[in-house]
Amino acid sequence: MNYEYFIAKRIIGSKAYKSSISAPIIKIGIAAIAIGMVVMMIAIATGIGLQEKIREKVVAFNGHVTITNYDSNASQESVVPISKTQEFYPEFNTVKGVKHIQAVATKFGVIRTETDFEGAVFKGVGNDYDWRYFNEFLVEGRVPNFDKKWSEEVLISNYLADRLGFQLGDTFQMYFLKDDTEKPPNIISFKIVGIYNSGFQDFDATYLIGNLRHIQRINNWDDDQIGNFEVFIEDYDDIERMGVEIFQNTPSTLNTSTINEKFYSIIEWVKIFDKNIYGIIGIMILVAGINMITALLVLILERTQMIGILKALGSSNWSIRKLFLYNASYLIVLGLFWGNVLGLCFLFVQKQFKVLEMNPDVYYVTEAPVYINWSYILALNVGTLILCLLMLLVPSYIITKISPVKAIRFE
């Protein structure tokens, strides 16, 4: 058996060790490691969770990549139609990693009630529309059913419903202006079959979702004409490469744009969370390391006579340093253990019960989302252990300066 490990184990297991002068300082060091671990786990889990949740909401309304016509239209309204008769539709098989493609169109209109009115963008979708995201956002009712050719069912946001006093099952009229403003607007009646709340107020205040055929009729488009295509990919981290490949595999008359390009400010703001996470991790490891350095120095001071005896018996400086590093490793591992227990408990409680709320006007979510992945938890534990031990190498050097004769006489 490694004799340094053997001695360190005996020291740790002794009753005198647990009731020694250094015991309170050791407990503080363990607590610092545990608290630091909890804070780092929460920072990573909520930071990554917030990034993914915000990106998911942007993707839900736009897809990862949008295929449109080349035109100077800067609004959210579809003006120049695209034919659905494309080689890449309904299956984008030429680019590996594309998960789904759907045809949509948008039209600005005004919702009119007896007492109020509100401008909104009517998003027309078809049977190829992926409702997966909106099923998650649903707070009442269901998603629209387009079995009827002129289905009047719509999905409206909770924000618009509250502003206009709508409830599930209500009907309302929406006015759509024609290109010739001298002609009366198109008026269509819709029935609310579902209410959603994405928490992303910019989108909730803008969109209601219904049948694509209404926009085709208003714009005098053919049945195979739509406003744009929304493309969903399997891995967001690969979006830049996928955007280029999708562009290369579409006709020269069509343009493509990723959500990183369309919503640059939001995506760049989300990336700032990475810097915050790195900053918190650095500060917590530094604080934990300083506490462990203090604990190690107290341990060395307390065991000065033992160090002198070991040196007198022929132990090398490095051998004695290893003994104390083993001791410190035990304390770090103990702190990491309790940090993991407390941190994971908090994260699972937050994931299930959503106790930590957030301001949706600032963060686009109503509660702190949690992302739990065992790979980052393992990396965090291993990284903290290694960095703390590296920080302890410097104070352990003090052992080389201890004289055996003076140390044995030390009181």
Q: How far apart are CA 48 and CA 278, in angstroms?
A: 12
In the chain, % of residues over pLDDT 70: 95
In the chain, % of residues over pLDDT 90: 57
Arithmetic mean of pLDDT, 31-35: 93
Q: What's the pLDDT score for residue 72?
A: 56
C-alpha of 202 from chain center: 19
* Residue in 215, 230, 216 with CA at minimum distance from that of residue 109: 215
pLDDT surpasses 90 at 400: no
pLDDT surpasses 90 at 404: no
pLDDT surpasses 80 at 185: yes
pLDDT surpasses 90 at 104: yes
Would you place residue 84 in the very low, low, confident or very high pLDDT band (cuts 50, 70, 90)? very high
C-alpha of 239 from chain center: 16
The pLDDT tens digits for 277-306 are: 999 999 999 999 998 888 888 888 888 888
* Residue in 43, 37, 45, 34 with CA at minimum distance from that of residue 374: 45
**163 exposure class (CB count in 10 Å sphere: 0-12, 13-18, 19+):** middle
Q: What's the pLDDT score for residue 70?
A: 83
Q: What's the pLDDT score for residue 20?
A: 66
User: What are the strands, taking DSSP E only, across 126-253?
Assistant: 138-141, 153-157, 171-176, 186-196, 207-211, 225-226, 228-233
What's the whole-number average pLDDT of the chain? Answer: 89
pLDDT surpasses 90 at 118: yes
Q: What's the pLDDT score for residue 196?
A: 96
The pLDDT tens digits for 40-61 are: 999 999 999 999 999 999 999 9
Q: Is the four-CA dihedral 268, 269, 274, 279 of positive or negative sign?
A: positive
